[in-house]
Amino acid sequence: MHTRCRYGLRSSVGEYKIAEEAHIKAIQIDEKSVEACGHLAQFSFVAGELEHARVHPKFLHSNATSHKWAFGAIAELLDNAVDEVNNGATFVKVDRVYSKIDNSPSLLFLDDGGGMDPDGMRKCMSLCYSTKKTNNTIGQYGNGFKTSTMQLGADVIVFSRACRNGRATQSVGLLSYTFLRKTGQDDVIVPMIDFDISKHWSEPILYGTQEDWSTNLKTILEWSPFNSKDDLIQQFEDIGPHGKKIVIYNLWLNDEGVYELNFDEDDEDIKLIDETAHLSKLSRKAADKQSHISYRLLHSLRAYASMLYLRKFKNFKIILRGKPVEQYIISDDLKYPEVVIYKPQVSSTKQDRLEMIIDTWIQLQDVPSPSKIEKLIIGWRPKI
């Protein structure tokens, strides 16, 4: 299991208890939201209609605001790739690519996991649906893909190859807020096309009529960065026999009309433009202090991705702009260990079994001492 580092400052065990109770309530609310949303996000397979989830397009935009930070949205997509380690994934690539239509930058995610078959693609593109039911995966509620992609850009196109039960398929799905808004749609239409490639050539898979399939293809070509069927099919060449490719385009701009993601400052990194501008105004002394990774993770995706997971991968790499990310295990760089026993008040019969030992550390090494020392709780383990 690859646990993401959910680090945060807690000055006492009491605060940790309050945070835990709030987290449990949040999970309960999230589960109820998922259940309610599941009734909304049902796909239609009616002949003569594009396959779509019956949710108003404005929900996509408001739903994306659950991410307040671009790197948090990127982390969701990295989590999806890391989950594919269970299906043999060895890498996820994150890079900038350019649209062939207007030469604008797009954000690319490519992994060699198990990929999605046509049914999996539809579940991925629907809202609040998840097939992840084990503790070995990070995402559980099936909403992260939609919220993260819509937070980064207005549109996303997904390519996937998979082999299930001896049948090899490839699928394309388009979730385009631009298309929905400009065509005045009142529910979320997600055009998708699928191919059976088991016999070494592409044969369309029809869920309705041939006309329905052609309408989906036409919509994808009109509203995606790929304006021909050949160009669309060519996108599968760098996926291999299985895996997925995500291209987020029409990236969002900040209030000054500049892309929120800065690809130009560092050829091996992706920066947050607003944070980078803030750092440029700091004094030399303040800049030296904030050169530590604990500060750089706020504006450098390479720094953030390096310490995103609590354990090192064995056979998996995050490759950012052509260069593997060297993992940074935060617990290796902390000092002054302290162990605090915490007993959550659940029930008298189960209290002993739920007793936890919380490892805490005070202050990162090589970082100037803060005016008020806080305890950094980076995780817990059950009492043995």
pLDDT, tens only, 233-245: 999 999 999 999 9
The letter for the amino acid at 54 is R
Q: Mean pLDDT lowest for which of 183-192, 279-288, 297-306?
A: 279-288
Examine the domain organization and report whether 132 and 71 are in the same domain: yes
Q: Which of 228, 251, 274 is the last residue of a domain?
A: 251
pTM summary value = 0.74
What's the rounded Cα separation, in Å, for the pair 260 and 272?
A: 6
DSSP assigned state of 327 = P
Average pLDDT across the chain, whole number: 76
pLDDT above 50 (res 50): yes
Q: What is the average per-residue pLDDT within 262-281?
A: 79
Q: What integer pLDDT is reported at residue 7 of this predicted model?
A: 35
Q: Domain of residue 277: give its range.
A: 261-331
pLDDT digits (tens, 9 = 90+) for 298-346: 899 999 999 999 889 999 999 999 999 999 887 777 777 666 776 766 6
Task: Answer yes or no: do 270 and 181 share one domain.
Answer: no
Following DSSP, what letter does each residue of 37-92 receive, concatenated?
Answer: HHHH-PBP--TTS--EE-S-HHHHHHHHTT--SHHHHHHHHHHHHHHGGGGT--EE
Residue 186's pLDDT band (boundaries 50, 70, 90)? Answer: confident
Q: What is the pLDDT of residues 84-104, one digit of tens each?
A: 999 999 999 999 999 988 999
Name the domain count of the chain: 3
CATH number, domain with residue 236? 3.30.565
At which of 251, 269, 296 does a domain end?
251
